[in-house]
Amino acid sequence: MDVLLSEQLLVSALVLASLYGLVALGLNLVYGTMRLLNVAHGEIVMIGGYVAYWGFSRFGVSPLLSMPVAALIGALLGGVVYVALFRRMLRESRLSVRIEANSLLIFFGISIILQNVTALAFTADQRGYAYLDRVVHVADVSVEENRLIILAIGAGICLCCAVFFRYTRAGSAMRAIIQQRDAASLVGIDVERVNMQVFVLGFALAALAGTLISMTQQISPFVGFPFTISAFVIIIMGGLGNLLGSLVAAVILAFVEVYGVAIVSASFRSILVYGVFIAVLLLRPQGLFGRSIAVR
Amino acid sequence: MSRGSGIVLAAIALGALGLVPVVASDYTLSVALNFLLWSALALSWSLFSGLSGYVSLGHAVFYGIGAYVMVVCWQVLPIWSAVLLAGLAGGVFAFSLGWPCLRVRGPYFVILTFGIAEFTKYVVVTIEAGLGRTGRLLIGTPSLAALYEAVLVLAALSFALFAAIRRSRIGAGIIAIRADETAAESIGINTNATKLALFTLSAIIPAMAGAIMALRATYFEPMQAFSPVTSFTIVTIGILGGADAPPGPVLGAGFLVLISELLWARAPEIYMILLGILLVIFVLFVPEGIYGRLHLLAKPARR
Amino acid sequence: MMLLRLEGVGKNYGGVTALRGLSFNVAAGEIVGLMGANGAGKTTAFSLIAGTQRPSHGEIWFDGKRIDGKRAHELSRLGIGRTFQLVRPFGDLTVRENIAVGALYGRQPAPSRAVAEARAEEILNEVHLAKLSDRLPGTLTLAQRKRLEIARALATRPRLLLLDEVLAGLNAAEADDAFEMIRAVHAAHELTIIIIEHVMRALMRLCGRVVVLHHGEKIAEGTPQDVAADPRVVDSYFGARAS
């Protein structure tokens, strides 16, 4: 029982929460504006991780410096995916339900492609590196330096995003589309351009999260998937399209995961995450903060 | 093609396929078996997902359950009873899940089925770990030829079932549901019952296939038996070949086995990349699949 | 004989009251109009009768049986058919197939596909859609799609047919055709019809009786002439009368 009260666990949970918050933010943006469920999101995270790994192990570049590079690569990928695959599909507004299911399959195909391209390039072995893993002591707690940095950077990026959404035109446009897609174009918002910006931003955030994650754990081509699942749990719990809600849900899930595993055991982690996933989808598809959808 | 000549053709094909073990080498036989296996899986999947539009991305769960039933009943029950029991288990599982899950629509249903498959996988892994087993070995399984004939029967059954359902009243109902679920309900179609019935039916043959393939592999390991790659492959076959009519999944399975024979052993990553690319291209440009496209081209324009 | 009875039926959505204490009856064979300004609760009333929504309170009786709370498909089997304000055809199916599905289900399901198609053939001729029978709904005009919607509902052999603004969006000629078709269909089958309509001319000529709603409540009921002259009804549409 003592272990539950340890500050280590608290720090782990906080770090995970900030990582989850970043990952979920990108996913939620794409969903909120375009109703697309990007199941390849975790693979973008994975790619960000590999950029950092490669930069460090090959060139000795600090992952912190790789971050903008990863973000750029993510952004580019986002732009390409949107223009090549989704722009056309979103234009032809046939049955929207089919578009949502079809787009999910497209993203699924993309995730398979990305996983296997990475496996081809780097082999399927786990890759890790040690960076800033010196232990420091902050107010009675011993924690690795990189964890603190992640916490700081993660929180910082979330804050920047909050500012972006509140005070910039582009950010407001995104929020407008999330709230009322049709009305947004009526007031002169160039929906296609914002869609593109959303893809770019969402993918960039995912890649950023990936570089941070690579500092704390080993990565492999298949490490992205659990993050996708967790991100889905978070955005559904927080309410699809509800950016603030997903941040709150990220904290909740991170704590449930870290403390749940501490109580039970590590091998139950997958059961826990998928169990929560199923429960959330079945019981409250509108999220903890969304309105109740009356369906018979 | 009229029904009469269609049935004669099917009988001939069945007979020819049944004779394969007599003339073919073990290698050819195993390729043919894979073809029939994927046909059976994809046909069963299409029966529900193709007609209803509710894409199940977790169909491997039924396959895995069937395999698990087989290994658990190994040497406890006669083999073919175990296969039937596996089918029953698959059906019961689908029925109990279907009730809550089919109320979830669109893409949420897709990821929900995926989540359930993964969840079940980890539960079985945990159970096996709890029982102290890292894998199970089956010794003294039937011959390849016998297993081949069994899978042939499954493939034929799933083909016939799909064809029959499509022509039936319930088939008309599920197709209406796919077109507009609210309107379907308003003309008297019990949408919940219809979806549940077909979902349950779509689980039985994959479960039996899983049981038979456990005999083939002689080894059961839950991460493998419940692998999401199986689900992904089934969906890809359905999309490539077309999930609207029975020849579609068969065509898709043939295509897949062909690529697989060429690439899987030598370059598995390239094989998967190719499948991913094909999935994306087909969803975007040929959503009706190869067979659907051929069908469209053959008919004179009526739109 | 009262085919349909609504007693004190109400519907709340969260804080909004869409319908409040609505009571009216419909006798077998009548054509009753349901009128009211937008937001008056007309489509809500239809949803409750047809089973797509459940009333918050009150009772609905159909053919002597209590039906509030039953699901839409059960009500279709009992004999309630409906059209939707924004038409919902089965987009992948041809016009004929759309109607044939209706014949396979509904109140008196056809025993086989062949019989269903035969019934569809009859209805196609009756509603003058025979020439379009192999077309897809997406290629039809709005008037034709509305006709298809009615045809599909007819295929379910309803005893009560709920028509939701079937004339909306049609030009004068199309509306007249539709109007005649409804008249003919009503005469040819044992049908009771409730029709929501804004097109006054049609409502007045078609209906024996009209019920007027305003803000979720019934404010008038009677023959079309009586209702048209009723000051409360005029007020609800135009605001205070110019005096």
- Mean pLDDT, rounded, of chain B: 92
- With 0-12 CB in 10 A as exposed, 13-18 as middle and 19+ as buried, what is B303? exposed
Mean pLDDT across chain C: 90
Q: What is the mean pLDDT of residues B260-289?
A: 91
Whether residue A232 contacts residue A27, with contact meaning beta carbons closer than 8 Å, is answered with: yes
Report, as an integer, the average pLDDT of C2-6: 92
Residue in chain B lying closest to C152 (CA): B187
* CB contact (8 A) between residue A112 and residue B115: no
Q: What is the pLDDT of residues A225-237, one digit of tens each?
A: 889 999 988 988 8
Classify C24 as helix, strand or coil.
strand
Residue of B nearest to C106 (CA): B188
Using the Cβ of A222 and the Cβ atoms of chain B, whether some distance falls under 8 Å is answered with no
Q: Tell me the pLDDT tens digit for each residue of B145-175.
A: 999 999 999 999 999 999 999 999 999 999 9
Chain B CA closest to residue C88: B183
* Residue scoring higher pLDDT (A74 or C232): A74
Chain C: closest CA distance from residue A89 (Å): 19
Instruction: Report the neighbours of A using a cutoff of 3 or more CB pairs below 8 angstroms.
Output: B, C
- Give the class (CATH, top level) of C2-88+157-238: alpha beta
User: Token pair for residue A27?
Assistant: 């996913």
Q: Residue B141: is its pLDDT beyond 70?
A: yes
Comparing CB atoms, the residue among A102, A109, A229 nearest residue B276 is A109
- C-alpha distance from B50 to closest chain C C-alpha (Å): 13
| Closest partner CB to A100 (pick from B100, B107, B278) | B107
* Nearest C-alpha in C relative to B171: C101
* CB-based contact A95 C91, cutoff 8 Å: yes
Rounded to whole angstroms, the Cα distance separating B282 from A85 reads 12
Give the pLDDT band of residue B39 (cuts 50, 70, 90): very high
Distance from CA of B210 to the nearest CA of A (A): 23
What average pLDDT does this structure show over A155-178?
A: 86
Distance CA C113, CA C128 (A): 22
Contact by Cβ (8 Å): B71, B210:
no
Rounded (5°) CA angle A30-A32-A33: 70
C91 and A294 within 8 Å at the Cβ level: the answer is no
Q: Which of C88, C100, C152 sits opposite B182 (nearest CB)?
A: C88
ipTM value for the complex: 0.91
Query: Six-digit token pair at B143?
Result: 């011959």
What is the pLDDT, as a whole number, of residue A295? 34
Sort out which chain A residues have CB atoms less than 8 A from B270's CB and list them: 116, 120
Q: Which percentage of chain B shows pLDDT scores above 70?
A: 98
What per-residue string of b and e applies to C14-42 under the rule 16 or more CB within 10 Å gives b? eeebbbbebebbbeeebbbbbbbbeebbb
Higher pLDDT, B63 or A97: B63
Per-residue pLDDT for B298 more than 50? yes
Q: How far apart are CA A263 and CA A4, in angstroms?
A: 8
List pLDDT tens digits, range C215-224.
Answer: 888 999 999 8
Best of A94, A96, A292, A296 to disrupt the C interface (most C CBs within 10 Å) is: A296
Do residue C54 and residue A296 have CB atoms under 8 angstroms apart?
A: yes
User: Mean of the pLDDT values across residues B294-300?
Assistant: 79
Q: C231 and chain A: CB distance < 8 Å anywhere?
A: no
Nearest CB to B185: which of C73, C134, C135? Answer: C73
Given pLDDT bands bounded at 50, 70 and 90, which one contains residue B303? very low
Supply the pLDDT for residue B252: 96
The single residue listed with the structure tokens 């064809």 is B163
Q: Which SS3 state, helix, strand or coil, does residue A221 take?
A: coil
pLDDT at site C120: 96
Which of C96, C101, C107, C146 to mutate to test binding with chain B, by most B CBs within 10 Å of its CB? Answer: C101
Please report the pLDDT score of residue B152 as a whole number: 95
pLDDT of A291 strictly over 70: no
For the stretch A40-70, pLDDT in tens is 999 999 999 999 998 888 888 888 888 999 9
| Per-residue confidence (pLDDT) for residue A165, from 0 to 100 | 85
Q: Which residue of C has its CA nearest to B51?
A: C92
The closest of B206, C190, B277, C14 to A85, measured between CA atoms, is B277
Confidence tier at C205 by pLDDT (50, 70, 90): confident
Which chain C residue is nearest to residue B303, measuring alpha carbons? C135
User: What is the CB neighbour count within 10 angstroms for residue A286?
Assistant: 13
Rounded Cα distance between A95 and C91, Å, is 10
* Secondary element (H or E) of residue C161: strand C160-164
**CB contact residues (below 8 A), chain A span 44-103, against chain C:** 95
CB-nearest to A101 from B107, B115, B129 is: B107
Tell if the CB–CB gap between A116 and B57 is shorter than 8 Å.
no
Q: Å from B288 to nearest chain C CA?
A: 12
Average pLDDT over residues B181-187: 95
Chain B residues in contact with C104 by the CB 8 A cut-off are: 169, 172-173
- pLDDT bucket at A97, cuts 50 / 70 / 90: low
> Is B180 in Cβ contact with C90 (below 8 Å)?
yes
Q: Do C113 and B167 touch (CB under 8 A)?
A: yes
Residue C56 contacts A, CB cutoff 8 Å: no
Mutation for testing the A interface, residue in B181, B273, B281 having most A CBs under 10 Å: B273
pLDDT in tens, B73-116: 998 899 999 999 999 999 999 999 998 999 888 788 998 999 99
Q: Where are the alpha helices (DSSP H) in chain A?
A: 2-5, 7-34, 41-59, 63-81, 87-91, 96-122, 145-167, 169-179, 181-186, 191-216, 224-237, 243-263, 269-283
Q: From CA A26, how far away is CA A28, in angstroms rounded?
A: 5
Model confidence at A285, pLDDT cuts 50, 70, 90, reads: low
The span from the CA of C47 to the CA of C26, in Å, is 16
pLDDT in tens, C86-141: 999 999 899 999 999 999 999 999 999 999 999 999 999 999 999 999 999 999 99
* A134 interface with C at CB cutoff 8 Å: no
pLDDT for residue A161? 87
| Distance between CA atoms of residues A191 and A181, nearest Å | 8
The whole-number average pLDDT for the span B22-35 is 90
Q: In this complex, do B187 and C106 lie within 8 Å of one another by their Cβ atoms?
A: yes
Tokens of B285: 């440009």
Give residue C242's pLDDT: 46
Between C167 and B253, the more confident residue is: B253
Torsion of CA B105, B109, B112, B113, to 10 degrees: 150
Question: Is the per-residue pLDDT at B129 higher than 50?
Answer: yes
- The residues facing C36 across adjacent strands are C213
Chain A residues touching B115 at Cβ < 8 A: 229, 274, 277-278, 281
Q: Is A265 at the interface with chain B, CB within 8 A? A: no
| Chain A partners within 8 Å of C138 (Cβ) | none
Helices A7-34 and A145-167: crossing angle, nearest 10°? 30
The pLDDT of residue A296 is above 50 = no
Identify which of A216-225, B119-128, C12-21, C170-179 has the greatest average pLDDT: B119-128
Q: What is the pLDDT of residue A286?
A: 61
pTM of the model: 0.90
Which of B115-124, B192-201, C204-213 is least confident? C204-213
State phi, psi for C222 to the nearest 5 degrees: 160, -165
